[in-house]
């Protein structure tokens, strides 16, 4: 408590940060393979679990931020930030899922190529 009032809702802000990181993890991994001569595009698959974990983390942080908002009867604030953090987290999960599907299709095509 600060001056008799509840402190802010830090989880709401962190959910935005973590959600944005989850969104950029897969595209950043792909871009890194394009800039580097040592790695191929397939190595960008490392960004998929990172984006998935960060996206889930953003959704959980947003959920806790909303719970704090409700527990303090709105005095903690952060409801709008928690909504954005949740949306960013879901978008990061979707991007990671799309990368996982692309990786699965690539693996299937490679398997069928050898058969």
pLDDT digits (tens, 9 = 90+) for 24-73: 999 999 999 999 889 998 999 999 999 999 999 999 999 999 999 988 88
Q: With CA atoms as reference, report the closest residue to 54 among 93, 22, 27.
A: 22
How is residue 108 written in tokens? Answer: 């299937």
Predicted structure pTM score: 0.88
- Check if the beta carbon of residue 79 is closer than 8 Å to that of residue 11: no
- Which residue stretches of 38-78 are H helix? 47-71
């Amino acid at each position: 408590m600060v001056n008799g009032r509840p402190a802010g809702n830090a989880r709401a802000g962190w959910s935005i940060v973590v959600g944005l990181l989850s969104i950029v993890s897969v595209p950043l991994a792909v871009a890194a393979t394009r800039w580097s001569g040592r790695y191929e595009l397939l190595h960008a698959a490392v960004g998929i679990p990172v984006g998935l974990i960060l996206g889930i983390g953003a959704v959980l942080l947003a959920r806790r931020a909303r719970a704090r908002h409700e527990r303090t009867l709105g005095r903690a604030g952060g409801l709008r930030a928690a909504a954005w953090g949740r949306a960013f987290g879901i978008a990061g999960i979707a991007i990671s899922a799309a990368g996982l599907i692309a990786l699965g299709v690539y693996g299937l095509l490679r398997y069928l190529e050898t058969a």
